[in-house]
A and B are shown apart, each in its own frame.
Chain A
Amino acid sequence: MTDEEEALLVEQVASAYRPPTRAHEELRYHPAWHDLSEAARERAYARGRALRTLEAAVDPDGLSAAARAILARIPG
């Protein structure tokens, strides 16, 4: 994998999107996470933290995309 290809994977993993869980499944990782090196996983964590800060800053309720995704999983 080239550095540029890995950088694009990091960009995807840093998003707040995670696939919906299936029956009898607690967690679904981002599919691209499995293709990252350890260093790239740490970069994705840091990038995600930065993006959540940006998302919360522009959201009228101060909610990041992760918070919005969690709320969307609560019925009602």
Chain B
Amino acid sequence: MDLDAHLAAIVLGDKLSFARWLAGAERPVRESLRSFAKVIDVEAVLQEALLRVWQVAPRFEPDGRPNGLLRLGVRIARNLAISEVRRIRATPTEHDDLEAALAAQETLGNPPDPILRQAIEACRDKLPAKPRQALDARLASGGGHDDSELATSLGMKLNTFLQNFTRARQLLAECLKRSGVVLDEELGA
């Protein structure tokens, strides 16, 4: 899918269209930063880079090739990562390239899959109460609260919250695997 289908509306400041673009663009931009994971906080760099895409989108000029805004996002993310590496004088061990990131976009970032969602929700319903509370709190927070806040809101100590979240993640992955679904091997690690 060419994510530039959302470009015209994004340029006009349509946040909903940017959200749709993000749903497809996040994964390939994240993949493009994999080689930096040892030396910089990729999550922080990724979120800042994608925010910058929104900020510069009104001045973006497509070159006629598909996924122009995604390619811009990968460049912004990579440049920000390199700035961070220079700032802390670290060196990534290997280099992913733009084409690998774009290849990831070919297979990922697809629209929500209702069957997969049902499978996950069925497994979530089978979780013990405390792990489920921890998982639900993380999912509902949308990255807006740190784990200490989430733990307090559930009346748990931070370590208890994290242990419950770990258990929920692993049980969910096991349950999904029994249903023939492997989202990502690391989910069950």
Footprint of B on A, CB under 8 Å? Answer: 7-8, 11-13, 15-19, 21, 26-30, 33, 38, 41-74, 76
Contacts and interface: CB of A to CB of B under 8 A. Distances in A.
Given A49-B30, A62-B112, A64-B26, A41 B186 contact: no
B144 A49 contact: no
Contacts of A63: 19, 22-23
Interface of B: 15, 18-20, 22-23, 26-27, 30-31, 34, 37-39, 41-48, 50-51, 54, 80, 84, 111-113, 116-117, 120-121, 124, 138-139, 141-147, 159, 162-163, 165-166, 169, 172, 183-187, 189
A47 B80 CA distance: 22
A66 B46 contact: yes
B166 to A, nearest CB: 6
Given A33-B41, A57-B117, A74-B54, A50 B184 contact: yes
Contact of A19 (B39, B146, B147): B146
Nearest to B110: A62
Contact of B144 (A12, A13, A69): A69
A66 B11 CA distance: 22
Nearest to B188: A50
Judged by DSSP, the binding face of A is: helix
Contact of A53 (B47, B142, B184): B184
Contacts of B48: 21, 26-27
17 contacts: A15-B138, A17-B143, A18-B44, A29-B44, A30-B41, A46-B186, A47-B186, A53-B27, A55-B139, A57-B112, A57-B183, A61-B20, A62-B111, A66-B47, A70-B54, A73-B51, A74-B54
B120 to A, nearest CB: 5
